[in-house]
Each structure stands twice: as structure tokens, then as C-alpha cells.
């Protein structure tokens, strides 16, 4: 009696397996595709767009402020801080801070279902990605200017 029940369960398991695609290798294909998509997502988030949400914008903005302040504090003297390149860097730093503030305001004002479920609006995500690119360029300029004046 017990062997008949086990055989019935095994037969049902094979039917279920065929129904979801285990029997013909579809599961392996689906797993490979999902793993590839996850790998692509991690690559994009790590190397291409590490800053996409308002929280990440805030953290990145704070790190830029820290770099800017530390480089300005370590400067050799007033002559170096009055150099035209430092004035341009200061203007760009201020404009980036204003732009980040505008993005945060826009995100707070956005009322959409996307914001409800994702925690941010997709339009602001694109603006944050553009802002991050400018941030990286300014950070490189700050560090390069500091190295030139050592």
C-alpha cells in the first residue's frame, strides 16, 4: 500500500516537473538568465551608477563636502586658496550643492505611485545619475589641484 502511494507521489512530481519545465532544461535556462540579469544589475550599481537614490545623493554630497573641506584646510596658505582654479572649484562646488538641494526638493514634492513603492521618483533617479557624474569630475579636479600644489 505504501509503495503505491509513493509511486503516485513520484508520478505527480514528474508531472509537475514537466509542467514547470524541469524535464526539458527550461529551468536551467531561466536560472541562467536571472543570474545574468542580477550580475548586470550589480555591475551597473557598483561601477556605472553607484548613486541613484536620494539617500545615496545625500551621502555622496557629504563625502564631497568632506573632501573639499579637507583639501582647503590642508592648503599651504592664502596665496594657494586665491588661485583662479580654486575659485572655479569653489563655484562648481557651490553649484553642485545647490543642484543636489534642488533634486532633494523635487523628490520631496513628487507625488506618484512610483515614489510610494520605490521610495523615490524615477525622474529624479536620472537627475541624480547626471549629478553624480558632475560630482566625480569635480572630486577629481579637487584632488588633482591639491596634488599640483603639494
* Residue ranges covered by each domain of the chain: 1-48, 51-150
d(CA 116, CA 75): 45
The per-residue pLDDT for 43 is: 82
Phi, psi dihedrals of residue 58, rounded to the nearest 5° = -65, -45
Report whether pLDDT(83) > 80: no
- Closest by CA position to 112, among listed 103, 104, 102, 122: 122
The per-residue pLDDT for 13 is: 55
Task: Convert the pLDDT of each residue in 30-70 to its tens digit.
Answer: 888 999 988 888 887 777 777 877 888 899 999 999 999 88
d(CA 36, CA 125): 23
**Which one is predicted more confidently, 27 or 83?**
27
Query: Where do we find the cell 592664502?
Result: 78
d(CA 142, CA 93): 10
pTM, to two decimals: 0.65
Q: Is the four-CA dihedral 135, 139, 142, 144 of positive or negative sign?
A: negative
Kind and range of the H or E run holding 82? none
Amino acid at each position: 500500500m505504501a509503495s503505491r502511494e509513493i509511486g503516485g507521489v513520484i508520478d505527480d512530481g514528474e508531472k509537475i516537473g514537466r509542467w514547470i519545465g524541469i524535464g526539458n532544461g527550461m529551468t536551467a535556462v531561466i536560472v541562467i538568465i536571472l543570474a545574468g540579469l542580477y550580475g548586470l544589475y550589480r555591475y551597473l550599481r557598483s561601477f556605472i551608477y553607484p548613486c541613484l537614490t536620494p539617500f545615496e545623493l545625500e551621502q555622496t554630497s557629504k563625502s564631497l563636502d568632506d573632501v573639499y573641506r579637507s583639501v582647503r584646510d590642508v592648503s599651504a596658505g592664502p596665496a594657494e586658496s586665491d588661485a583662479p582654479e580654486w575659485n572655479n572649484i569653489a563655484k562648481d562646488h557651490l553649484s553642485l550643492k545647490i543642484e543636489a538641494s534642488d533634486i532633494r526638493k523635487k523628490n520631496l514634492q513628487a507625488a506618484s505611485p512610483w515614489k510610494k513603492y520605490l521610495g523615490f521618483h524615477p525622474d529624479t533617479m536620472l537627475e541624480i545619475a547626471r549629478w553624480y557624474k558632475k560630482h566625480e569630475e569635480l572630486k577629481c579636479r579637487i584632488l588633482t589641484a591639491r596634488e599640483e600644489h603639494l
